[in-house]
Amino acid sequence: MKIRRKSRFAPEVFTHSLNDIMFFLLLFFLIISTMSNPNVIKLMLPKASATQQMYKKQITLSIDDKKGYFIDKEPIPFDRLEAELQNIFANVEDKTIVLRVDKNLAVQDLVDVLELGAKNEIKMVMATAK
């Protein structure tokens, strides 16, 4: 006489705790990725009694199609632009301006602004749309 089991054995994998493990792994990698910076070379720098602090400053200069000049959303006439830039970049080592120029503006107006930057040793970067 052959005895049969009524229920067959089916293998199971209990995945209830896998959600918690995956959450902790994700959290761990997010924390580690914000702490590490791959572009930094670790060096042992020499010590000095007197230090000099380098200042970096970046502003946005926008020019609309009606030749309106704006420094960080503040309107300014073109004849005061150079003096205002000199005031902003006083005691700043790395001077950078992000140019946002309307596409319908004449090239000569852009060249005038670039001349001001070259005269005052200011780096100019032009913002574009995709």
Domain 56-126 has CATH 3.30.420.270: yes
Mean pLDDT score of the chain, rounded to an integer? 79
Reported as a pLDDT band with limits 50, 70 and 90, residue 50 is low
What is the distance between the alpha carbons of residues 119 and 99, in angstroms, rounded to a whole number? Answer: 16
Over residues 57-101, the pLDDT tens digits come to: 678 888 887 888 888 888 899 899 989 988 888 887 788 888 888
3-state SS assignment for residue 101: strand
Q: Domain extents for the chain?
A: 56-126
Reported as a pLDDT band with limits 50, 70 and 90, residue 24 is very high
Predicted TM-score (pTM) of this structure:
0.55
The residues, any chain, with a CB within 8 Å of residue 114's CB and separated by 6 or more, are 124
